[in-house]
A and B are shown apart, each in its own frame.
Chain A
Amino acid sequence: MENRIIEFVSGLRAAGVRVSVSESRDAFLASSNVAVPQRETFRVALRATLIKEQRDRETFDRLFPMYFGGDPPALQPVGQNLQPADSETLQQMLRELQAELSDLLRDLLQGKAPDNEQLREQLGRLPARVDPRMLPRVERELNKRLGVAQMLREIEALLAALEQAGMQAATLQALRAEIEQNLQALAEQVARFVGQQWRERAAQTPAEEASDAGLADRPFESLGDADYAQLQREVRRLAALVRTRAALRHKRGRGRLLDAKTTLRANVRHGGVPFALHFKRRHLKPKLTLICDVSTSMRQVVEFLLTFIYELQDQLSRTRSFAFIDQLLDISPELAAAPPATAIPRILRNLPAGHYNTDLGAALNQFVTHHLDAVDQRTTLIICGDGRNNYNDPRCELVELLRRRARRVLWLNPEPRYLWGSDDSDMGQYASAVTAVHHVGNLRELAAAVDSLLASN
């Protein structure tokens, strides 16, 4: 059983669920602690110890029967209980239809299912990383290749022929029920076989590759083929990590600062003797204003950045967000109403139709004219863009103006440094106008940039 649990845990990991070593140890302990080793209790014990997110339950529930399902039901020979006369009719009909009946049906009626060899031959080798949610589709495909659809038609034809030959309705009914039971058993065997194949593949997949971990380090431009749900999960995970770090930092941070004013006021009733000390709120949460380039090249990075920022709202005091291609839009209301993954496509759809060229200079001008109230001496202003302006005026002086007004101006750019300043990139100029530039080429770098932003407030 222990080995089976280990194998199951690596299956979960291959399916993208994060399971730590301590959690798999808990699963052992739990499974050996359930007094009556009933399957359902066992299942609940494993789930409570291994799955800590509601959204991973589906994966668990799908994989569990593949590992702990026991033997699938066997097929039974059909027609064993028929009266001799009916049995004779059936046999004769089978002989008559000889040419029209597939081997699959003939076997099914004798209580035989295709063996693993045959199944393997039809299925071929599963690719290395199949999302377990896809397995029903794989099953359907295998059923199709086995000729199940054809067999169903043959069954109808056979039953119709038997009726013609004068078989009683009740007898036909019983025969149909037996056949259906075998069909059911066959379907389960096929599902079990597919599950078994998936398990073998999962066991061969090295843990690193199997987990989402790789996603954090892959360059943004290569994420196109990654599973979207998995990416979202990874972003949320990194955000939670950043939050934990921030929380620990505050907790272990430098000594607390005495708040003299509040202390005096609170201790009036003690005759001014400062018994109850009051401390300054240990740290001021950053106030953020974001200006994001949502042109095609930047869209995905911006979506991740905004997802990060909005996952970390409790670490921030106020956030305002603006998007631009050549015009500037205040997107804070949309982001307040829906998570970034939903809001951003909606924002893009609502942009007036036409052909766009990134023009940060013009967007900055609009920002300074209409939204200067979004920046004060407590604000950290973040500009997220590649600094490619299509040879428009970069308006660096506006960035400098904003830097004097804001607490600081940070620039996040997904382009590697050696490309800054090439062709239509004004990044070199912008870089010297802002407080700091972070290169963010993948999720981990993005997380680190956000982390340092929280750390140095």
Chain B
Amino acid sequence: MTDTAEQLGAALKAQQYIPSEEICTVMFLAQQLQKPVLVEGPAGVGKTELAKALASALGRPLIRLQCYEGLDESKALYEWEYSKQMLYTQLLSGKLQQMLADTDTLAAAADRIAKEDDVFFSMRFLLQRPLLRAILSPEPAVLLIDEIDRADSEFEAFLLEVLSDFQISVPEIGTLVAINKPLVLLTSNNTRELSEALKRRCLYLFIGYPAPAAELEIVRLKVPALSAQIAAQVVDAVQSLRSLDLRKAPSVAETIDWARALLALNASALTRDVFDSTLTVLLKYESDLQKARQMIRREPRKPKAPDAA
């Protein structure tokens, strides 16, 4: 637990994550108020990375539930491990015969087996999925529910119930209550509207593209071998590309890829030729590539003095 938002920020930085002030404050509040956070923003701005960094920064285990269409409770919560139950039944069949030896009717035998139910429906045979693991975790965990907008609304409704009391009932075992409430992060790329009820329950954090200084810091951190001057040019170019009306604007992930590509090419400056030949790392659509080339023709890139950082 960190005592202030600033401390949390420093801890995130130590995990190679460059948080904005807003990110620090919201994450800090989430801990204080024990509320889940809904994180939205374009692809590749570090939503998933934030959860990972946060877990390491707080020294908590990260438990991740990746959502997809058709995800259901058995994949998210628990499943009975049938083959293990089966194996045990077979291995124990001698014992079972013995136990049933003195019963004379089928009903009596069935009754006796029923008494032993809880041997076969115990935690031993319960295959724990992420949500249950987060609830049963002996130390408080960070639970990342990634890309919730991809799951069906049915699942969202189910999740809402889990998030409201952090307890679940397994009919054969009873109610399992969280020992430690996990810190929950849900991410969404906003491909569909989430329910109001879910949003009401969460704090909301929108992560947009980072400010130039922050992005430069990220590049310097992730690709330290790249010269400061080229790193600055990279960020400068990406930031102006984002101001164009593109189908898919380059995200932080792509900035990093581009920086790595330039390093691999051993480029000594970001000339127009280098820019042209590596642009496909950054932009995926032909129409976007054309716009970018136009931009570069309009304002030939002067080598810029590297920032003090």
Residues of A within 8 A of B (CB): 18, 20, 22-23, 26, 29-30, 33-36, 40-41, 44-45, 47-49, 51-54, 57, 236-237, 239-241, 243-244, 246-248, 250-251, 269-270, 273, 275-276, 311, 314-315
User: What residues of A have a CB within 8 angstroms of the CB of B86 in the complex?
Assistant: 270, 273, 275
Verify if B82 is at the interface (C-beta below 8 Å from A). Answer: yes
User: What residues of A have a CB within 8 angstroms of the CB of B22 in the complex?
Assistant: 44
User: What residues of B have a CB within 8 angstroms of the CB of A52 in the complex?
Assistant: 38, 196, 199-200, 202, 204
What's the dominant secondary structure at chain A's contact region?
Answer: helix
Residues of B within 8 A of A (CB): 3-5, 21-22, 25-26, 28-29, 32-33, 35, 37-38, 40, 82-83, 85-86, 152-154, 156-158, 190, 192-197, 199-200, 202-206
Return the chain B residue nearest A18 by Cβ: B196
User: What residues of B have a CB within 8 angstroms of the CB of A54 in the complex?
Assistant: 40, 190, 206
Complex CA distance for A54 and B199, rounded to whole angstroms: 12
User: What residues of A have a CB within 8 angstroms of the CB of B203 in the complex?
Assistant: 26, 30, 48-49
A35 adjacent to B202 (CB under 8 Å): no
19 A-B pairs whose Cβ atoms sit less than 8 Å apart in the complex: A23-B200, A26-B35, A29-B33, A30-B29, A41-B21, A44-B22, A47-B204, A48-B37, A49-B29, A52-B199, A240-B194, A240-B195, A241-B195, A243-B195, A246-B153, A270-B83, A275-B85, A311-B193, A314-B152
B196 adjacent to A33 (CB under 8 Å): no
A244 adjacent to B199 (CB under 8 Å): no
A45 adjacent to B196 (CB under 8 Å): no
From known contacts A33-B29, A44-B21, A275-B82, infer whether A236 and B193 are also in contact, taking CB-CB under 8 Å: yes
Q: Name the distance in Å between A162's Cβ and chain B's nearest Cβ.
A: 41
Return the chain B residue nearest A250 by Cβ: B154
Given contacts A48-B29, A244-B156, 8 further A-B contacts (CB under 8 A): A20-B200, A30-B32, A34-B5, A44-B26, A47-B204, A48-B204, A52-B196, A241-B195
A244 adjacent to B153 (CB under 8 Å): yes
Q: Name the distance in Å between B133's Cβ and chain A's nearest Cβ.
A: 21
B204 adjacent to A44 (CB under 8 Å): no
B29 adjacent to A45 (CB under 8 Å): yes
User: What residues of B have a CB within 8 angstroms of the CB of A250 in the complex?
Assistant: 154
Q: Name the distance in Å between B124's Cβ and chain A's nearest Cβ.
A: 15
Complex CA distance for A240 and B200, rounded to whole angstroms: 13
Return the chain B residue nearest A237 by Cβ: B196
B200 adjacent to A48 (CB under 8 Å): no
User: What residues of B have a CB within 8 angstroms of the CB of A49 in the complex?
Assistant: 29, 203-204
User: What residues of A have a CB within 8 angstroms of the CB of B25 in the complex?
Assistant: 34, 41, 44-45, 48
Complex CA distance for A243 and B199, rounded to whole angstroms: 14
A241 adjacent to B196 (CB under 8 Å): yes
The residue among B5, B37, B83, B202 with the most chain A CB atoms within 10 A of its own CB is B5
From known contacts A57-B206, A243-B193, infer whether A251 and B26 are also in contact, taking CB-CB under 8 Å: no
Complex CA distance for A98 and B196, rounded to whole angstroms: 63
Q: Which 3 A-B pairs have the closest CB atoms?
A: A247-B153, A275-B82, A52-B199
The residue among A53, A57, A311 with the most chain B CB atoms within 10 A of its own CB is A53
Complex CA distance for A248 and B32, rounded to whole angstroms: 31
A244 adjacent to B82 (CB under 8 Å): no
B192 adjacent to A314 (CB under 8 Å): yes
Q: Name the distance in Å between B197's Cβ and chain A's nearest Cβ.
A: 6
Complex CA distance for A250 and B195, rounded to whole angstroms: 15
Complex CA distance for A18 and B194, rounded to whole angstroms: 15
Return the chain B residue nearest A269 by Cβ: B83
